[in-house]
Amino acid sequence: MIRTASVARGRDARSRLLVLLAVIPVVISLLIAGAANPRSVLGAPGSNTVTFGVVISGSVTAGTPFTVTVTAQDSRGRTVNSYPGGATLSGLAASPSGAAATYGTISNWNNGVGSTTVTARKSQTNAQLTASGLVDGVTVSGQSTAFSVAPSTAASIAFISTANGFNGQPVDAKFDTAIASSLSSSPPPVKVIALDQFGNRVGGVVVTMTAPANLDGTKIRTTSSSGSFGQATYGEASFNDLSITEFGNYQLTATAGSLTATSTSFEIVADLAKCGAASCKNTGRSAGANLQITYSSLTGVSTLSGLTLTTSFIGDASTAGCAGSDVGSIGELSEVRVQGAGVTTAQPSFQLAVILPKLTLQNLGLTSRAVDTYNLCLGATRLDGGTTGWEGRQTLGGPLVTLTDPDNDGVFWGWAADCGTPGLDAGNPCVSLKTKNAGQLQAELGMTKNEVKNLPFESSDLALVVDEPYPWDVKVGVH
C-alpha cells in the first residue's frame, strides 16, 4: 500500500512539471509582446479600447479662453499612462455673427494626459467638446459633460437681429394706442435686443426707449433685457405701452448707457385696417370728413392675416399739388399702404376702392356734381424704392405723361388715368370705376351683396376703384 501511494505521488509531480514546462513559453511570448506594445501590459486594454476623457476647467464666457484637459482612458476609465499623445478638439458652434470657436493644439502630453485652451464664441447651454484621434489606425473619441457658455458684455442694442430671428421694429399704429412690432392679430410690443460682440443675446441690460421729446402724451419707458438664459426671449427688452398722440412719421430711439439704436420710420395714423377672408377695410376721420379705403380682390398671397392697410390724413389734397387747373381741392389727403409678409414687388395684385359716404359729400358741398367729374390724385412714392415713375396726368383732364419721383419722397403727384385710356402701359394705376351704385361696385370688385354692404357702401355714396395700385405707397386725393 505504501509503495502504491508513492508511485501515484510521483506521477502527479511529473504531470505538474510537464504543465509548467508547457506554460513557460506562453508567458515568455506574452512578455515579449508586452515589451513591444506597452499599452497591453498587465491588463491594460488594447489600442482599440482607448477613449478620451474631456474635462472643462471653471466657468466659460464667449471670447474668453478656458482650459480643457484630455485624458487617454481604458474601458474602465483608468488612465493609459503609456499613451504617447495625439487628439483634436471640436464641437462648438459658430456665433450668430459667424465667429467660429478656436481650439488650441494639445501638445504637452504627459502620462496619457494633455491640455490646451479653447475659446468659444457662441453663448449656449448644453455645449459639449469632443476629443478625437487615431490610435493604431482606429479613430477613437470622447466627449465632455454638458456645460454653459455665457455671453460676453453687451456691445450693441438693436431693433432687429436677423441672425437671432428677432424683429422688434415698430410698425404703424393708431394715435394714442400702444405701438406694436408686428402685424399679427395679437401684436407683440416693441422690443430691443442686447447683443455682445459676437451677436449673442445679453440679459440684464437696462434699456430706455424715447420718441421726440416734444410729442404730447408720448410715453417713455425703461426696462431691462430679460428672459431665461438659453431661451428665445433672452436678452430682449419689451415696451408694451408706448404711444404717440399726434399724427406723423416717427422713429424711436433706444439707449443703454453709451449704446444707441434707432428704429425704422413708422407712422401714427388715423386708423388701421381689419382684414377678412377676401378684403381689408378701414375708415379714417379728419376734419369731419369720412374717407373709407378698402383693399379687395387680393391675389398672389395665401392669407391676409399678415397684411395690413394704414390710413392717415396729412392735410388738404391741394397742398400736395393735386388741384387741377379747372377744379378746386375736395376732401382730405390720405396715405395708404399694404405691408406685411408676402408683399413683394410682384404681388399682391389687387384693387383699391376709395369710398366717400354721402354725408361726406354733403359736408363738402359735392352732392350736385356729376360722377364723371370725380377723379383720384395718386402719390408717386413706391414701396420698393423705385423711381421709374408711372403714367398719369399732371392736371385733371390734361394729357397723359410719365410722372416720376426722383427723390422717392412722394413730391410728384398726378391724376390717375382712366383704365380705358389709349396708350396706357400695363401695370400703371388707373381708375376702372366711378359710381354711386352698389350693384356696379359689387360687380367691379367681385364681391357678394353682403360683402359690399359690410364695407359699408350705400347708393349715393361715391366709390372710385383703382386697378393695379401696388407697388404704390398710395397718397390719395379725391377731386
DSSP secondary structure of 189-255 = BEEEEEE-TTS-B--S-EEEEE--TT-TT---EEEE-BS-TTSTTTTEEEE------S-EEE--EEE
Q: CB of 250 within 8 A of CB of 169?
A: no
Say whether 175 sits in a helix, a strand or coil: coil
Q: pTM for this one? A: 0.64
Q: CB of 299 within 8 A of CB of 278?
A: no
CB neighbourhood size of 119 (10 A): 18
What CATH number was assigned to the domain covering residues 156-268?
Answer: 2.60.40
Q: Cα separations (Å) of 313 from 294, 376, 472?
A: 16, 15, 17
Phi-psi region of 198 (alpha: psi -120 to 50; beta: other; left: phi over 0): alpha
Tell me phi and psi for residue 467, to 5 degrees: -95, 150
Domain boundaries of the chain, sorted by first residue: 47-150, 156-268, 270-478
Q: What is the mean pLDDT of residues 16-36?
A: 49
Most confident residue range from 212-216, 217-221, 412-416: 412-416
Instruction: Please count the helices (runs of H) and the strands (runs of E) in the chain.
Output: 4, 37
Q: Cα separations (Å) of 234 from 151, 190, 201, 419?
A: 11, 15, 6, 53
Q: Is 2 exposed, middle or buried (0-12, 13-18, 19+ CB in 10 A)?
A: exposed
Residue-level pLDDT at 131: 96
Q: Among residues of the chain, what percentage have pLDDT more than 90?
A: 27
Q: Does 47-150 match 156-268 in CATH topology?
A: yes
DSSP letters spanning 26-46: HHHHHHHHHHH-GGGGGGPPP
What would the pLDDT profile of 392-445 be if each residue is shown by its tens digit?
A: 887 777 888 888 776 666 556 778 888 888 888 877 888 899 888 888 988 888
Residue-level pLDDT at 19: 47
What would the pLDDT profile of 345-388 be if each residue is shown by its tens digit?
A: 556 667 777 777 777 777 666 677 676 677 777 765 555 555 66
| Strand duo 430-435 + 417-418: pairing | parallel
Of the candidates 352, 310, 308, 360, the residue with the CA atom closest to the CA atom of residue 335: 310
Of 58-62, 93-97, 324-328, where does mean pLDDT reach its minimum? 324-328
Q: CB of 285 within 8 A of CB of 357?
A: no
d(Cα 1, Cα 277) in Å, to the nearest integer? 115
What CATH number was assigned to the domain covering residues 47-150?
Answer: 2.60.40.10
Euclidean distance between the first and the last CA atom of the chain, given in angstroms as a whole number = 143
Of the candidates 174, 176, 205, the residue with the CA atom closest to the CA atom of residue 191: 205
d(Cα 212, Cα 214) in Å, to the nearest integer? 6
User: Count of residues for the chain?
Assistant: 479
